[in-house]
Amino acid sequence: MTRTTRREPPPAGGTASDETGLRPRRRRGGGSVLRLGYLAAAPALAALALAASAGVASAASPVTKVTFTANYLESNPLGGEIGASCTGVHTDNTKTGIIEDNEHCILSGDTEGMAPGVYTGDPTGLLPPFTPASPAATWESDYNGVEAISWTLVITADGSSGAFKEHIVAYY
């Protein structure tokens, strides 16, 4: 399988990626990367900036928890863009070796093709919106861009506005 060259992941805390303002989130089969753009230019980025408040593991606790936020646009293969506004907790347990993201997102915009349900990957699985040629996808952390070894995503409709809610639990 040919893989595209991957940019460096965003620094811990979920800050922006490179000079293009794009960062990977979901990787599709064959190694191609679905690129994401931030919602607006610099003033809006400042308001919507990715933030993190780091917890510190002490000698008594091998667990570090970091709260993060992420806001971005993602291309919808059926047309347009889906906006995502997310908050989550990145947990690193150095004693057990378990690293987990637990994240909630609101999806809005061109959500055609989104389908409520439970989706899983180990590390690959299918994610909506679906097209006849939907390839398997992997999940990449909104905290640091690391590819998950397994993930569960639950999508629910958020009323009549056409928005959706996502709850993601991913392990790295």
pLDDT at 11: 46
Is 1 inside any structural domain? no
pLDDT at 135: 87
pLDDT at 59: 57
Range of the domain at 70: 22-171
- List the pLDDT tens digit at each of the 172 positions of the chain: 322 323 333 445 544 333 333 333 443 333 323 323 332 333 333 333 334 444 554 556 899 999 999 999 999 999 999 999 999 999 999 999 999 999 999 999 999 999 999 999 999 999 998 887 888 999 999 999 999 999 999 999 987 788 999 999 999 9
Peptide bond into 123 cis (omega under 30): yes
Is 106 inside any structural domain? yes
118: how many CB neighbours lie within 10 A of its CB? Answer: 9
Q: State the Cα–Cα distance between residues 21 and 80, nearest whole angstrom.
A: 18
Is 9 inside any structural domain? no
User: Strand locations in the chain, DSSP E?
Assistant: 22-28, 33-37, 52-54, 63-75, 81-93, 98-109, 117-121, 137-139, 150-157, 164-171
Closest CA to 23 of 73, 77, 93, 94: 73
Look at the chain and report how many structural domains it folds into. Answer: 1
Is 15 inside any structural domain? no
